[in-house]
Amino acid sequence: MGELLWFLSGSTDDNKLKALSYIAPDKNSIWSANAEDFLTKGKASYKGDLGRIYGFQWRSWNGATGYIQPIDQITQLVKRLREDPFSRYHLVTAWNPSDIPHMALPACHVMFQVFCHVDGGLSLSMIQRSCDTFLGVPYNIASYALLTHMLAHVTGREARELIITFQDVHIYEEHFDVVMQQIRRRPFKLPSLQLNHEVKELTDFTMKDIVLIGYEHHEALKAKMIV
């Protein structure tokens, strides 16, 4: 959930992701390898800089071009969901061709679209261009499921469906052994999600406002991030 809140804040600083997720500065987040690679290539402005990735695109689209007003796609999305719920324009994109050279990693989950139902439901559909099945996809599923619930929460609707279109789905050879360990495990019962009812705006959520009830897990399995 820390990564999602980090995206929503507009940050592209790995140091802030670590702080938000209670990770020690000398430890790695899921983005640290990308940040180190970006720094090694001489593209980063400081250690931890990831360039114009998701947070920038979601909250400041084209904000650095100098000739167009930055577009806050997240603020616009929530406003439109409230004012015109059945519009076909409830779409947020992280794929910005002009900014790809300035990203530590071009967007994998490139866009999502939100749909409101006449009975008060809300569904979200996401397209992912590249899918690291072991390390990335579980994060993406959990993150967008949470986002669906958060959007429903702040717009007075009920979360319904999360639809994800996975493209270029792969498992890296380096991950084969740990993937086999994962497959042999027996899954636990799914937990339930509780959001703080006092939070009214999407960008006001903190880690303390999101609670998983009955969450059980196995010992963590680790694998190298392929950059």
* Residues with catalytic function: 108
**84: which residues sit within 8 A by CB, 6+ positions away?**
none
Please state whether beta strands 91-93 and 109-116 pair in parallel, antiparallel, or not at all (unpaired). antiparallel
Contact indicator for 56, 6 with CB cutoff of 8 Å: no
- b/e per residue 194-209 (b: at least 16 CB within 10 A): ebeeebeebbebeeeb
Strand partners, 127: 111, 165
Q: What share of the chain is helix, strand, coil (3-state, %, to 5)?
A: 35, 20, 45
